[in-house]
Amino acid sequence: MYKLYGSTTSPYVRRLRIWLANTQHEFINMQIFESEDRTILITKNPALKVPALEHIEGDKSTLIYDSRVIYRYLVEQLNYASLSWEQENQLTLIDSVNDSLVQMFLLSKSDVIADTEKLFFKLQKERVNNVLAELNEHVERGKFNSWNYPAICLFSLIDWIEFRSLHNLKGLSALLDFHQENAPRIEVTATDPRM
């Protein structure tokens, strides 16, 4: 039995929920900043981050942290094909934007004003702009035409950006078209954080 711990608003959790749509698992929705769920979270992931996966087989329980590691673990458990090196690089690009935007989002929730003259903010914005432009080109070249794990991760990122109003995607028409084309998928609508 697989138990996925996370929150409905996390793009890292959502990518796994979408990918696991046809795999039996239990999703435990947590309010990770509230003390009760935080107490549970620390027992599932000492890094206090979501997602965390618990794989229960009989009396044995295995805990796996981080969406990318969870994906690799499940691929091995379910005997699926591994990602190519190109796909691994795509995930690195997607994760770099996700990580930068998560940090910026948490700072804004902590009432820290983004000062574009400060090195931290300059670096994050530069990374986000460069990588989104690169991903837009990848979509234009058909690199995300298949609905596979990297495409799911890209969709989860773009939808999270839109959901949280984190970045202006104007001019990134391939990314916006990709988002619009995949938004009606049943596993996407079933995991929509706006619900």
Which residue, of 18, 51, 77, is where some domain finishes?
77
CA-closest candidate to residue 188, choices 143, 145, 158, 144: 158
Q: Are residues 62 and 143 in the same domain?
A: no
- What tokens were used for 121? 């903010």
Provide the residue range defining the domain that includes 137: 85-186
137 occurs within a structural domain: yes
29 occurs within a structural domain: yes
Domain of residue 67, CATH code: 3.40.30.10
43 occurs within a structural domain: yes
Number of domain units in the chain: 2
26-29 vs 2-6, strand pairing mode: parallel
Query: pTM to 2 decimals?
Result: 0.96
E strand intervals along the chain: 2-6, 26-29, 52-57, 60-65
Q: Are residues 103 and 125 in the same domain?
A: yes
Distances (CA, A) of 184 to 74, 113, 119, 142, 179: 26, 35, 39, 20, 9
Cβ atoms 6, 64 nearer than 8 A: no
192 occurs within a structural domain: no
Which residue, of 20, 55, 77, is where some domain finishes?
77
Distances (CA, A) of 150 to 18, 66, 104, 143, 146: 12, 15, 23, 10, 9
191 occurs within a structural domain: no
Per-residue pLDDT of the chain (195 residues; tens, 9 = 90+): 999 999 999 999 999 999 999 999 999 999 988 989 999 999 999 999 999 999 999 999 999 999 999 999 999 999 999 999 999 999 999 999 999 999 999 999 899 988 878 999 999 999 999 999 999 999 999 999 999 999 999 999 999 999 999 999 999 999 999 999 999 999 999 999 998
Distance CA 172, CA 98 (A): 17
13 occurs within a structural domain: yes
195 occurs within a structural domain: no
